[in-house]
Chains A and B, each alone.
Chain A
């Protein structure tokens, strides 16, 4: 390519200084000048050619012509010798099966040098298989550049055709799934002309699977070349697994129906039991996994790509979960770590109780220099201390059985790492039950106090809350009502700091426990929802998940059509995770920060985690 280089003078405008190297081919410059003067519109014809057919012998081009986009998608090459009637019959069969308008689009010649007789023969073929326009691709064996000519019988307007040759990898385009950008997926009720042109191309190739069953080594009247020409691709392992999966699925479905009937039986639905089941996160997780197993073991084939990916993701995720769980189990049971864990559990519980007792002693004294009301302080402190004493006795009562319980509970880690983590979260909840109780007592006392104070404050100002009208009204009180009201108000007000301090301390402890549990649940959620199969697919076979395509301009020669290589642009990891995330029974915070703070201030009990399916209270 000849070119001209020049440098433009730099102007003093903000931005980086730049120099210009412009290379324009001289022919194109001439063409540009001609164009601007004559204004003859150029019609561009695009030919999508599979790169596997580049070395095929001469024959007929078979494919799909898309008139709206003025493009021809070549799917295969039919070789000589053939009988035209049989070719037409075969193509009409393929059209019926695939619903794709497959037809003969032109000729392909791959020879050492141009032969006059061959070119005449090829032109005659144009009269047998009439197609408008008739494409003639010609390749000389040693040259990279092909020549392409279009024959139009009835040119509607006198126009110059520009031809663009786009090479595509047929196997990759057939196997890949196109993910349109987010805003286009919502408009599903639009006509085909609005649909992406690339989607049509991918669709055409994917639907023409039947065409790729026969190839040139078959003993039939039609000899085709396409991406399966080197031999039909299949994997023995995949086929064996497909055959074996049917009885396995049936067995699994039977087992699962048995298990779910047991779970739904009325024995387990009595009041105390069903309350416990709903509070334990282990049961939620087990139920979730049961649902997943039911999805995998169902006999219906996946209808479309998202369903197939979902099934595959659930399967791989379950496998990884169970593998990690077994790994954890083998680590725990080696060197009697379970025994060590059980031995350290009681001293840890004792230590926590002792710390709590020290804390209460501190609160009963002069905490942080604040002066408490001695009587109330002593009452509350002694009440909580007695509670801790009860709790410690209970733990000591259970201590001989702890090791055995832990040993059997640890066995359930083989069901998966998520189950083990849920059990851990439940154990933490059970061990810190006394902190929860203290929080509830402190919160209730504080809440009562606040409500009492607000009501008596209204009385102090001579107002009352009208329940019927849901507003504050003025009210005239009797003298004795006012007297008692003011007295109570004063008492409550001066006892407020003590109660508030106890409430603050226990709320902070409870929030600490909630944060720890929340982190464990986040981890469980992450393992549950991560689409492992999709990520592995993106890593190993990135062409299966396509975000779009990218074009590369190949070497050009003047006079020959423009050559482009179309490659698949894979989806980014972030979009893969976002598109194929598995839905979970996600625990997300019920309250926004503002309402949480308000609840804390008023002393209302907070339940930070809400599970899907729980009624709003």
Chain B
């Protein structure tokens, strides 16, 4: 099996009969692009320094590079996105950034209507994304909100189909439970 480094990886784990976790790991931060960005900023700063003979330009460039790197790692670059589905509690979405920060959202099962794959027309192509449909508290039949999943890693349709099938198995459990109660 050839393992390519520049592709995303899907991992499915089953903890119990009603609890599953799907994590999609994105490409890690490449040393190449980091060095390219840093070198270009410093070259521009050095050229400005040669023009203006002001050493503040160089310190400003270092400052900008550091701040930019920190902001990129902490707020922009997402390392892993995961979806935890627990049939009786709810669905939890976690995005972990390259700096270790984790952004979690938990949606209770009573608010979830269904998990579907939506198609969208973007420019000249059709893209597919997995999303959670939320129930409107006032009108149980209508959908109040659509929450898209895996926004940064953007997996392909076949990957989404795998996750979708798994999710539907879990979601069916809550329907059968509510029918018997």
Residues in chain A within 8 A of chain B (CB atoms): 1, 7-8, 10-11, 13-25, 28, 31-32, 35, 39, 41-44, 46, 70, 157, 159, 162, 164, 166, 183-184, 187, 190, 194, 196-198, 548-551, 553, 556, 562, 564, 569
B46 to chain A, nearest CB (A): 36
Report the minimum CB–CB distance from A233 to chain B (whole Å).
28
Are A42 and B106 in contact (CB-based, < 8 A)? no
A553 contacts which chain B residues (CB < 8 A)?
Answer: 15, 19, 21, 84
Please name 5 pairs of A and B residues whose Cβ atoms are closer than 8 Å in the assembled complex, sorted by A.
A15-B159, A16-B155, A41-B179, A183-B144, A187-B137
Taking a contact as CB atoms under 8 Å apart, the answer to whether B108 and A17 are in contact is no
By Cβ-Cβ distance, the 8 closest A-B pairs, closest first, are A15-B156, A44-B88, A17-B7, A550-B104, A41-B176, A562-B16, A28-B14, A22-B12
Whether the pair B106, A569 counts as a contact (CB closer than 8 A) is yes
Q: Are B156 and A16 in contact (CB under 8 A)?
A: yes
Chain A, residue nearest B107 (CB): A548
Closest to A157 in B: B180
Partner of A551, one of B86, B154, B156: B86
Q: Name the contact of B158 in the complex, choosing from A11, A31, A32, A551 (C-beta under 8 A).
A: A11
| B7 and A16 contacting across the interface, CB-CB below 8 Å | yes
CA distance A8 to B18 in the complex (A): 25
Tell me if A21 and B8 are in contact (CB < 8 A): no
C-alpha gap A22/B23 in the complex (Å): 10
Assess whether B106 is in contact with A548, with CB atoms less than 8 Å apart: yes
By a CB distance below 8 angstroms, the chain A residues around B32 are none
Decide if B36 is an interface residue (CB 8 Å cutoff).
Answer: no
Contact between A569 and B10, CB atoms less than 8 A apart? no
Give the chain B neighbours of A564 by CB distance below 8 A.
Answer: 86, 89
| With known contacts A7-B1, A19-B3, A164–B89 Cβ distance under 8 A | yes
Residue from B4, B12, B180 in contact with A19 in the complex, judged by beta carbons closer than 8 Å: B4
Closest partner residue, chain B, to A560 (CB atom): B16
Known: A164-B89, A553-B19. A18 touches B108 (CB 8 A): no
Q: In the complex where A70-B88, A164-B88 touch, is A15 in contact with B11 (Cβ < 8 A)?
A: no
The answer to whether A194 touches B88, judged by C-beta atoms less than 8 angstroms apart, is no
A31 touches B105 (CB 8 A): no
Within 8 A of A (CB), among B10-36: 10-19, 21, 24
A551–B89 contact, CB under 8 A?
yes
Distance A31 CA – B173 CA, assembled complex (angstroms): 13
**Do the beta carbons of A164 and B86 come within 8 Å of each other?**
yes
Instruction: Quote the shortest CB–CB distance from B82 to chain A (angstroms).
Output: 11
B92 interface contact, C-beta 8 A: yes
Cβ of B38 < 8 Å from any Cβ of A? no
Closest A residue to B6 by beta carbon equals A17
The closest CB in chain B to the CB of A12 belongs to B156
Q: For the complex, give the distance between the alpha carbons of A41 and B177 in Å.
A: 6
Q: How far is the CA of A35 from the CA of B18 in the complex (A)?
A: 11
Chain A residue nearest in CB terms to B162: A20
Inter-chain contact B19/A18, CB cutoff 8 Å? no
Q: How far is the CB of B113 from chain A (nearest CB, A)?
A: 14
Q: Is there an interface contact between A15 and B157, defined as CB atoms closer than 8 Å?
A: yes
Q: Restricting to B62-103, which residues have a CB under 8 Å from any CB of A?
A: 84, 86-89, 92, 94
Contact A43 B177 (CB under 8 A): yes
Asked whether, in the complex, the Cβ of A46 is within 8 Å of the Cβ of B157, the reply is no
Q: Are B106 and A46 in contact (CB under 8 A)?
A: no
User: Which chain B residues border A159 with CB–CB below 8 Å?
Assistant: 180
B177 contacts A44, C-beta separation under 8 Å? yes
